[in-house]
Chains A and B, each alone.
Chain A
Amino acid sequence: MLKTLLKPFARVFEFQAKTHYKMERHSMALTAGIILAAGVGGFVEIAPLFTIDDTVEDVADMRVYTPLEQAGRDIYIREGCYACHSQMIRTLRDEVERYGPYSLAVESKYDHPMLWGSKRTGPDLARVGDKYSDDWQVRHLINPRDLVPQSVMPQYAFLLEAPLRTDDLPGRLDALRMVGVPYTDDMIANAANDALGQAQPDGDRASGVLDRYGEATAVRVFDGQSGRLTEMDALVAYLQILGNLTDVAQNTQPMAEE
């Protein structure tokens, strides 16, 4: 009776017996099986532990890049500035004295990708924001050797002529949201307007920028030519925000090593 009942499963048993026998015979396969089983089980256990992140400090005043700053960052990326400028002040005394408080992990937590760099042909830029005036930055970008005769930096005069594309900004912000930057629907929908508004302090779009990104956001004509939104506007806006997304580093005044 039982036999007939189990008959349909005979094949399953047979298969089980066969594979089990084989597994036992090749004890390596057995070990691999153990590793696999343990690995899957273990990983389910491990994964939640990682959600408690002990690396990146939690800071309340850390804000995201505005669309204009993000556009400037994209230009910084496009021009390969990271090849000569780092954005990571190390915990060494001379660096802290030269560039400012050393960089904290939180400060680059919205940087996709990070631009820490690996070579300083030019100085570190992690805290270059507000160190120089907009005018200095623009003139320096047009021809670095006008301001620093010994500089070997290339000229970026063409940025002043290139109008900034704003139509793709919502898409970019949306993509950034997908990888974890907390842009709101509102920010994404108004991305193009906000980019224009941040460089036009007298325009009606400016207030939106302050609403969405905070009162401290710099709203001004970055490139010195009002009425036109250029790539120079974006890049300078980005340079001026470097190190200014949060005050945590300045406030805590971390002590340097050595």
Chain B
Amino acid sequence: MMSNLTSPERARAMLITGAGVLIGLTMAVLGRNDPMGAHGWIVLLFCGVLFFIVADKLYDAEPVEDRSISYYDDPTKVGILLALFWAVVAMGMGVWVASQLAWPDLRFDAAWSSFGRIRPVHTSGVIFGFGGNALIATSYHIMQRTSRARMPDQVSPWFVLLGFNLFCVVAASGYLIGITQSKEYAEPEWYADLWLVIVWVVYFVLYIRTLARRNEPHIYVANWYYLSFILVVAILHIVNNLAVPASFTGAKSYSAFAGVQDAMVQWWYGHNAVAFFLTTGFLGMLYYFLPKRAGRPIYSYRLSILSFWGIVFFYIWVGSHHLHYTALPQWVQTLGVTFSVMLLVPSWASAGNALMTLNGAWHKVRDDATLRFMMVAAVFYGLSTFEGSFMAIRPVNALSHYTDWTVGHVHSGAMGWVAMITFGSIYALTPVLWRREAMYSWKAVEWHFWLALSGTVIYVFAMWNSGITQGLMWRTYTESGTLRFSFVDTLIAMHPYYIARAFGGLLFFAGACICFWNVVMTIRRVPHHASAIDYPTTSEAMEPAVPAAE
């Protein structure tokens, strides 16, 4: 990896990691009386290791590779491996937290291991660690391929990837230490948030610079999805994390918003994060890898563009459906319902478009587990968007909210849609990226597919049952008009479902482990492909990307 950096690039990398070491040291010293000090040491260690890796190779031979005729895939490769590493860690955590609900003594009495502290490790680990790394890695791949251009430089992709992972590490370790804002999916504290803003701006600039260098006049629709993901997530992140630190030498901060206002911002963020992190980014992945793997163009390319604008417009205001029957003004809730229901149109347009693309290639879906991952992902995308719109309706929400139904819904999206499309894409990408004939073991892919599918189905069904049971029990009255069940009664009823859920999660986790193993074995064992490089710089048309000035 290092040998592909020129000496000025190595020097720049050293400068950046060196600065990171200094920042870590400063945090450690200033925050020595606060949990922030621990984060200082983590930053120091992370940047220090990178610093020494760079320093070690500083005077190695200059690279001989001709950059004008190749793509820059090193960060993509590392990103894929990191995504899988986070998948294993975070899904493992998921199995553990799920088990704690069935067997609460599994926490072993340590302060850091309580449900409240490791649950965000699971959620952030899956969403940001696994999903984020997969998005960054695939976006590097897709933006270069669809632009037929190499990334403009070699330091910023590393900065984005490793900087993002530093954020993930700081976030996850922070939860265990007890550093959290307790804002769902936005738990990291102020300095991690600031760091993410810097990383994200560099990411956006890198993406735009690559597109500006493109040799293919058309910008493929996947890039639109990725760009909206980067841009909107940045805005959401900044707005929702506006906070005042209690002290610049301490981790604690207080949100700029309070109460009902904070709730509105939080779910405006929360649901748009679903939209722009867990939907548009992965739709970008779908719109590239699905046609690529199926060998057929998108069924309706026009529809994919239209549904992009539809999703972007409709998603913005649906967040308030998380706050039905609360102190939020009712008209804001109604607003949320209206747009949640309308959102179904562009969502199903996308799901249908994906499935129609496969129409005529069903024999491939039957034979190719990778394609099947993508097909199932599209199906689950359609199902969970329908479920989401359904659950946004007030009477349904009255039953489903606060129960495991919501958890099941989220997981049908996260496991069935996000993880499935990501695994499918990784299986499609790995042989291409490492120039291998195929995956090391197609049987393992099959195993993974069936484990993932059965795990998801078990999980989702368990949660549906659990959620609906609990929701109904809460509102059951005796004949004399009093509440029939105590809260603990509902908890007892949940127990078997919690065991089933942990089991479903375990299957899914096992699949992820198999995937990691399979990818590593593909890299280590499968012989190289005959053609060693793919060539970017000339488009088929060899036309200048930017039309001559008018």
Chain B 358-394 interface 0/1 with A at a Cβ cutoff of 8 Å (1 = within)? 0000000000000000000000000000000000000
**B453-487 residues at the A interface, CB under 8 angstroms:** 474-475, 477, 482-483, 487
Question: Which of B72-80, B104-112, B349-357, B535-543 lines the interface with chain A?
Answer: B104-112
Give the Cβ gap from A191 to chain B, nearest Cβ, in Å.
11
| Inter-chain contacts of B246 with A (CB < 8 A) | 168, 171-172, 174-175
| Inter-chain contacts of A56 with B (CB < 8 A) | 259-260
| Inter-chain contacts of B102 with A (CB < 8 A) | 152
| Inter-chain contacts of A79 with B (CB < 8 A) | 114, 116-117, 178
| Inter-chain contacts of B328 with A (CB < 8 A) | 105
| Inter-chain contacts of A103 with B (CB < 8 A) | 326-327
The contact sample of 13 A-B pairs, CB cut-off 8 A, is: A79-B116, A80-B180, A83-B116, A90-B398, A95-B474, A112-B256, A119-B404, A153-B115, A154-B104, A168-B247, A168-B250, A176-B254, A179-B244
B327 close to A112 (CB less than 8 A): no
* Interface presence of B407 (CB below 8 A): yes
* Interface presence of A115 (CB below 8 A): yes
| Inter-chain contacts of A168 with B (CB < 8 A) | 34, 246-247, 250, 252
* Interface presence of B215 (CB below 8 A): no
Cα separation A119 to B326 with both chains bound (whole Å): 14
Assess A80 versus B474: contact at CB under 8 Å? Given A90-B324, A92-B398, A113-B181: no
Assess A118 versus B180: contact at CB under 8 Å? Given A97-B483, A109-B259, A112-B258: no
* Interface presence of B402 (CB below 8 A): yes
**A52-106 residues at the B interface, CB under 8 angstroms:** 54-56, 74, 76-84, 86, 88, 90-95, 97-98, 102-106
**B57-82 residues at the A interface, CB under 8 angstroms:** none
B329 close to A113 (CB less than 8 A): no
A80 close to B259 (CB less than 8 A): no
What are the 3 closest A-B residue pairs judged by CB atoms, nearest first? Answer: A80-B116, A108-B259, A90-B325
A114 close to B104 (CB less than 8 A): no
| Inter-chain contacts of A171 with B (CB < 8 A) | 246-247, 250
Chain B 99-142 interface 0/1 with A at a Cβ cutoff of 8 Å (1 = within)? 01110100101010011110110000000000000000000000
A82-B116, A151-B488, A171-B247 known; 7 new pairs, CB 8 Å cut-off, are: A109-B258, A116-B263, A119-B406, A150-B492, A152-B104, A156-B114, A181-B258
A55 close to B260 (CB less than 8 A): yes
**B172-203 residues at the A interface, CB under 8 angstroms:** 175, 178-184
For chain B, give the interface size range: 35 or more
| Inter-chain contacts of A122 with B (CB < 8 A) | 487
Cα separation A7 to B492 with both chains bound (whole Å): 89
| Residue ranges of A at the interface with B (Cβ–Cβ < 8 Å) | 54-56, 74, 76-84, 86, 88, 90-95, 97-98, 102-124, 144-145, 148, 150-158, 168, 171-172, 174-176, 178-181, 257
B322 nearest in chain A by CB position: A118
Assess A121 versus B244: contact at CB under 8 Å? Given A80-B120, A105-B259: no
B252 close to A158 (CB less than 8 A): no
Cα separation A12 to B327 with both chains bound (whole Å): 56
B121 nearest in chain A by CB position: A80
| Inter-chain contacts of A93 with B (CB < 8 A) | 475
Give the Cβ gap from B412 to chain A, nearest Cβ, in Å.
16
Give the Cβ gap from B114 to chain A, nearest Cβ, in Å.
4
Cα separation A25 to B111 with both chains bound (whole Å): 67
**B225-256 residues at the A interface, CB under 8 angstroms:** 243-247, 250, 252-256
* Interface presence of B491 (CB below 8 A): yes
A179 close to B247 (CB less than 8 A): no
B247 close to A180 (CB less than 8 A): no
Cα separation A106 to B257 with both chains bound (whole Å): 13
| Inter-chain contacts of B104 with A (CB < 8 A) | 144-145, 151-154
Cα separation A154 to B109 with both chains bound (whole Å): 8
Cα separation A144 to B260 with both chains bound (whole Å): 31
| Inter-chain contacts of A156 with B (CB < 8 A) | 114
Cα separation A93 to B247 with both chains bound (whole Å): 43
A145 nearest in chain B by CB position: B104
Cα separation A158 to B117 with both chains bound (whole Å): 14
* Interface presence of B153 (CB below 8 A): no
Pick from B116, B254, B323, B404: contact of A154, CB below 8 A.
B116
Give the Cβ gap from B167 to chain A, nearest Cβ, in Å.
19
| Inter-chain contacts of B492 with A (CB < 8 A) | 150
* Interface presence of B266 (CB below 8 A): yes
Pick from A91, A97, A120, A175: contact of B253, CB below 8 A.
A175
A159 nearest in chain B by CB position: B111
| Inter-chain contacts of B403 with A (CB < 8 A) | 119-120
| Inter-chain contacts of A257 with B (CB < 8 A) | 325
* Interface presence of B534 (CB below 8 A): no
B483 close to A94 (CB less than 8 A): yes
| Inter-chain contacts of A176 with B (CB < 8 A) | 254
| Inter-chain contacts of B498 with A (CB < 8 A) | 152
A172 close to B254 (CB less than 8 A): yes
A175 close to B256 (CB less than 8 A): no
